[in-house]
């Protein structure tokens, strides 16, 4: 925490460069990769009046993108996860009484997300929204209407590539492992999220350097941040999380990952048609 606070101060002094490349702000405290630094920089730079966050798909919250924000900035937050045991774990942690955090069990769908947010006391302008549910991420963000976050972070599937406007077809009970043994068939391409962001009034400002989280800022809050194209902001992930038919890691990388899900059905968000992956 102390080292992160020092790095945060350094990032403030390096604002001019970070405005052009948010990856320069990266550092890791509780995030899986190095998103803590990007988020802290954006919060310091944009200074949202509404200091609230909502994060989906947190497991037991020990590894998450908003825990540093909760503890370092004392923000108020709502976290949701589909496994009851994970949420019970969070509620037994010291942070649950030390900070204003609401943790709830919920399997998120496009149909229930607005009710879930409202029933836990959140609506209107929100500081930050982070969506990482390894599945219907595109469809859930598209459905959200009860909040207006300043910062939105959505996981994208780098395996789908830079030029494809693909998401998985919507299925309320989608499960990544059940959908395909490889765990590579999930979520949305960056291009589809880029287009959706435009529809919802947001500007893409870049991705983390690991190639899984895309950052969007509400248009009225850009304040000098650099709009980024998909070509400029897409990062091809290097992590190797693929599984074989027996559920064992098989470490596929590069184009071999897309070949593994060849023939799977995707929804093209630009043509509005279903198509199959051909690689």
Q: Is residue 279 part of a domain?
A: no
Asked if residue 76 is part of any domain, the answer here is yes
**pLDDT tens track, the chain, 279 positions:** 889 999 999 999 999 999 999 999 999 999 999 999 999 999 999 999 999 999 998 999 999 999 999 999 999 999 999 999 999 999 999 999 999 999 999 999 999 999 999 999 999 999 999 999 999 999 999 999 999 999 999 999 999 999 999 999 999 999 999 999 999 999 999 999 999 999 999 999 999 999 999 999 999 999 999 999 999 999 999 999 999 999 999 999 999 999 999 999 999 999 999 999 998
Which residue segment(s) compose the domain that 84 sits in?
A: 2-12+22-254
Sheet with 101-105, side-by-side order of all strands: 101-105, 76-81, 52-56, 124-131, 147-155, 213-218, 202-207
Could you tell me if residue 273 is inside a domain? no
Where residue 193 sits, what CATH number does that domain have? Answer: 3.40.50.150
* Nearest one of 179, 111, 163 to 140, comparing CA atoms: 111
**pLDDT value for 165:** 98
In a domain, residue 278? The reply is no
- Domain membership flag for residue 262: no
φ/ψ of 267, rounded to 5, equals -105, 125
Residue 279 structure tokens? 């690689």
Burial 249-260 (b: 16+ CB within 10 A, else e): eeebeeeebbeb
Task: Write the CB contacts of 177 (distance below 8 Å, at least 6 apart in sequence).
Answer: 183, 243
> 124: which residues sit within 8 A by CB, 6+ positions away?
50, 146, 147, 148
- 169, 267 contact by CB (below 8 A): yes
Residue 241 lies in a domain: yes
C-alpha to C-alpha distances, 50 to 123, 127, 128, nearest whole angstrom:
11, 5, 9
For residue 269, the model assigns a pLDDT of: 98
* Tokens at 238, concatenated: 């290097």
pLDDT of residue 119: 97
**Residue 170 falls within a domain, yes or no?**
yes
Residue 183 lies in a domain: yes
Number of independent structural domains in the chain: 1
Q: What is the reported pLDDT for 279?
A: 87
């Amino acid at each position: 925490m102390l080292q992160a606070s020092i790095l945060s101060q350094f990032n403030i002094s390096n604002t001019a460069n970070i405005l052009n490349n948010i990856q320069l702000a990266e550092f890791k405290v509780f995030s899986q990769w190095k998103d803590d630094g990007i988020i802290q920089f954006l919060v310091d730079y944009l200074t949202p009046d509404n200091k609230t966050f909502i994060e989906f798909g947190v497991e037991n919250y020990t590894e998450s993108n908003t825990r540093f924000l909760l503890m370092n900035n004392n923000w108020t937050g709502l976290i949701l996860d589909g496994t009851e045991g994970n949420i019970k774990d969070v509620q037994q942690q010291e942070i649950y009484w030390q900070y204003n955090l609401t943790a709830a069990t919920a399997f998120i769908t496009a149909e229930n997300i607005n009710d879930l947010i409202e029933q836990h006391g959140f609506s209107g302008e929100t500081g930050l929204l982070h969506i990482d549910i390894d599945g219907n991420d595109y469809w859930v963000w598209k459905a959200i209407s009860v909040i207006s976050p300043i910062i939105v972070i959505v996981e994208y599937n780098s395996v789908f590539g830079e030029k494809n406007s693909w998401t998985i077809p919507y299925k309320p009970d989608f499960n990544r492992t059940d959908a395909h043994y490889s765990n590579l068939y999930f979520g949305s391409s960056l291009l589809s999220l880029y287009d959706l962001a435009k529809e919802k009034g947001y500007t893409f400002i870049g991705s983390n350097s690991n190639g899984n989280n895309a950052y969007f800022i509400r248009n009225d809050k850009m304040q000098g941040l650099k709009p980024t194209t998909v070509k400029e902001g897409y990062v091809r992930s290097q992590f190797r999380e693929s599984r074989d038919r027996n559920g064992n890691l098989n470490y596929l990388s590069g184009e071999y990952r897309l070949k593994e899900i060849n023939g799977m059905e995707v929804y093209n968000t630009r043509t509005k048609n279903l198509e199959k992956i051909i690689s």
